[in-house]
Amino acid sequence: MIDYASILQQSQLDIILNILEHLSIIGTDGAKQNDCSITLLTRNPDLGLPADVLKKYPQIINIALQHRFYDLVVDRSEKKIRVTVEFSGRTVPLTIPFGDLLVFSDKAGQEVQLADGTIGYQPFSIYAVPPVEIQAILTESTPKEKVDETVTPPVEKDGNIIRPTFGR
């Protein structure tokens, strides 16, 4: 039997990796026109988050890839993303295993023609992990906390950090 869910999930991850590879080529100058971010798990000790950031974001973190990111590399052979970002003025190199990547978003999105004929922008998000699995991860980590059935966009910004609410 064909495992459509696995094929679709792998395809979505490939799309995210292709976009990140494109971002690595255009760099921060090209990314300024977009409002990209990646949401990832923070539990992996190899990630490289400073202790104070990890304390503030013990489960997941949303990292902006717009103004202050450097040395973005997608290493498909090691199945890791490497990127240097800034946290409160500190430059921090991160190593993100593909398995810890949850969502790629671009609030600026893509140009679309609206019903009235004008041009607008539609936000774009793609999930490396189905939203139901993200909810399960959050629920597993915080069993007493109820998680909404919808995944909401990030709302708080602190430099390169965007704190996702995920219905809380």
Q: Is the pLDDT of residue 36 over 50?
A: yes
pLDDT top residue among 167 and 30: 30
Q: How large is the average pLDDT for residues 71-80? A: 94
pLDDT top residue among 150 and 62: 62
Model confidence over 19-30: pLDDT tens digits? 899 888 877 666
Q: How large is the average pLDDT for residues 80-102? A: 91
- DSSP readout, 115-146? TTS-EEEEEEEEESS-HHHHHHHHHHH-TTS-
Give the integer Cα–Cα distance in Å for 26 and 21.
9
pLDDT band at 143 (very low <50, low <70, confident <90, very high): very low
Q: What is the pLDDT of residue 156?
A: 52
pLDDT top residue among 61 and 135: 61
Residue 1, C-beta contacts closer than 8 angstroms, at least 6 positions apart: none
Q: What is the pLDDT of residue 142?
A: 53
Q: What is the pLDDT of residue 107?
A: 80
% the chain with pLDDT above 90: 27
